[in-house]
Amino acid sequence: MIKKLCKNPILSAHSFNVFYLSNVVIDCLPKNTLSKQQIDDLLTAAVVHDIGKTTWPESLFRKSKNLLTKADWDIIRAHPAIGANMLRETGRYSEETIRIVEQHHERPGGTGYPHKIEPDLPVIILAVCDIYSACVEFRKYRKKPLSHEEALCEVGRFAPLNLIQILSTTRPKIQKMEECIFHETCN
User: Given pLDDT bands bounded at 50, 70 and 90, which one contains residue 173?
Assistant: low
CATH number of the CATH domain containing 35: 1.10.3210.10
Query: Over the stretch 39-63, which tens digit does the pLDDT of each residue have?
Result: 999 999 999 999 999 999 989 988 8
Residue 187 lies in a domain: no
Rounded Cα distance between 100 and 10, Å, is 21
Residue 82 lies in a domain: yes
Rounded Cα distance between 122 and 55, Å, is 25
Q: Which domain holds residue 96?
A: 2-182
Cβ 38 vs Cβ 96: under 8 Å: yes
Domain count, the chain: 1
Q: What's the pTM?
A: 0.90
Query: Over the stretch 115-166, which tens digit does the pLDDT of each residue have?
Result: 999 999 999 999 999 999 999 988 877 889 999 899 999 999 999 999 999 9
